[in-house]
Amino acid sequence: MKFNTELIHGNFDGDAFLGSTNTPIFQVSAFAHESPEKLEKVFANKAPGFAYSRIGNPTVAAFENKISALEKGIGAVACSSGMAAVTMALLNILESGDEVIAAAGLFGGTIDLFGDLKAFGITTKFVNHVTVEEVEPLITDNTKVIFAELIGNPALDIVDIESVAELAHKNDIPLFIDSTTATSYLVRPIEYGADVVIHSSSKYINGSGNAISGVIIDSGNFNWNPEKYHGFKEYEKLGKFAFISKLRNGIWRNVGACLAPMNAFLNTLGIETLGLRTERLCYNALKLSEYFETADGIKVNYPGLESSPYNSLAKKYFGGHGGAIITIRAGSRERAFKLMNNLKIPLIATNIGDVRTLVIHPASTIYTHSSEEQKINAGVYDDTIRISIGIEDVEDLIDDFKQAIENI
Ligand SMILES: *Cc1c(COP(=O)(O)O)cnc(C)c1O
């Protein structure tokens, strides 16, 4: 089956008893069982079933199964937010004394998280771009994970996953990919060697900006040697399922980072149109960026344009698409603010992956606490505007940006 058919019909999750076409919202905290013997088995993972919604819930499981199948993983764990997913994925493998190698231009929340982890003895070495040349010299015996965003936001730099995965595996290190901005439609990072994939499903998976959530997908491919990853001693016997089982039975359930059933349902609903939306978003983004290339006083950055240094990687990994985020530089902070004030259609909001076009001035908002160096690494200048493209008719968006620019 191709993407959209598999998305709708593959790994079907309905309700075997009543024939509902989608898994209903099991809005309950606990599940009763007919005997203590049965509940004992459910608790010990020796019988299928659910006990308590922090540990598992059918609506959440339906979402996890869908995204795991789309990403070609062996299992997924849904979390209360994208940040919870990033945190849980890392804490499932790291301990005091460990080192992470990551891009300096990561999503701001993830950069801040690496700062928080210092208090627990986990340190991060930052590279400007996650490339073999920059990462290799920083690898030590303590390096336990390489963490990258497939398309950096808002720098819009693209990681050549294949070559970085090869370097990581040569050194027995797993590659974690935050694939939020790339979407499960454009690329399945596991097919290129990523070991663990993370999404802030608040964004493109949900699609309508109506619930915060995150998800971790495990490839099952990394060999978690307990000599190096000490927490894996008792999970080694589970083979391919070691990472996901440890996560589900350990830090994720103990922190209580579970996803609410209602939000899982909204995601399952949203994901059904992921393919349709992403096609439209990429089309709109390309057309709008082509207009920006002709606009006076505007510099545009979009991986789908031939002028982008990342165009060849976009072609390699995203089948010619460029994603759904564009950044433009307006010449000065004042011009950027005037342009945004002149816009009639896009909303001024700090989110991406909505059906509505959203604009933000990153330097005065998301990056307001960042150093000059951090801003430059993230491609954030005083005159940068980030555009998260929506599914509106692109002619209307072009007309709106045209009048907004002309009226600066
Ligand atoms: C939004 C985002 C996150 C964090 O997700 P939340 O759902 O807001 O917690 C992590 N990584 C990337 C790339 C994001 O865009």
Closest ligand 1 atom, residue 84 Cα = 9
Pocket of ligand 1 contains residue 204 by CB under 6 Å: no
Per-residue pLDDT tens for 289-309? 999 999 999 999 999 999 999
Per domain, the residue ranges of the chain are 3-270, 275-406
82 lines ligand 1 (CB under 6 A): yes
Q: Cβ(200) to ligand 1 under 6 A? A: yes
For all residues of the chain together, what is the average pLDDT? 96
| Tens-place pLDDT, residues 243-282 | 999 999 999 999 999 999 999 999 999 999 999 999 999 9
Separation in Å, CA 52 to CA 7, 58, 252: 28, 11, 14
Q: What's residue 1's pLDDT?
A: 87
pLDDT at 407 (0 to 100): 97
Q: Residue 192: CB within 6 Å of ligand 1?
A: no
Q: What is the pLDDT of residue 203?
A: 98
- CB 70, CB 187: distance < 8 Å: no
Instruction: Kindly state if the Cβ of 83 falls inside 6 Å of ligand 1.
Output: yes
Q: Is the pLDDT of residue 17 over 80?
A: no
3-270 belongs to CATH 3.40.30.10 = no
Write down the CATH number for the domain with range 275-406: 3.90.1150.10
pLDDT at 320 over 90: no
Distance 200 CA to ligand 1 centre (A): 5
Q: Is residue 80 within 6 Å of ligand 1 at its C-beta? A: no
Ligand 1 centroid–CA 151 distance in Å is 13
Predicted confidence (pLDDT) per residue in 74-121, tens digit: 999 999 999 999 999 999 999 999 999 999 889 989 999 999 999 999
Distance 150 CA to ligand 1 centre (A): 13
Pocket of ligand 1, candidates 199, 203, 216, 365: which has the most ligand atoms within 8 Å of its Cβ, to mutate? 203
pLDDT band at 40 (very low <50, low <70, confident <90, very high): very high
Q: Which atom of ligand 1 is nearest to the CA of 353?
A: 15
Backbone angle region of 258, left / alpha / beta, with phi > 0 → left and psi within -120 to 50 → alpha: beta
CA of 184 to the centre of ligand 1 (A): 15
Cα-to-centroid distance, 236 and ligand 1 (Å): 31
Tell me, using a 6 A CB cutoff, whether residue 150 lines ligand 1: no
- Summarize pLDDT for 356-396 with one digit per residue, the tens: 999 999 999 999 888 898 888 889 999 999 999 999 999 99
Q: Ligand 1 in contact with 107 (CB < 6 A)?
A: yes
pLDDT in tens, 175-234: 999 999 999 999 999 999 999 999 999 999 999 999 999 999 999 999 999 999 999 999
How far away, in angstroms, is 25 Cα from ligand 1 center?
Answer: 24
Under the banding of pLDDT at 50, 70 and 90, the label for residue 284 is: very high
* Whole-number Å distance between alpha carbons of 116 and 158: 26
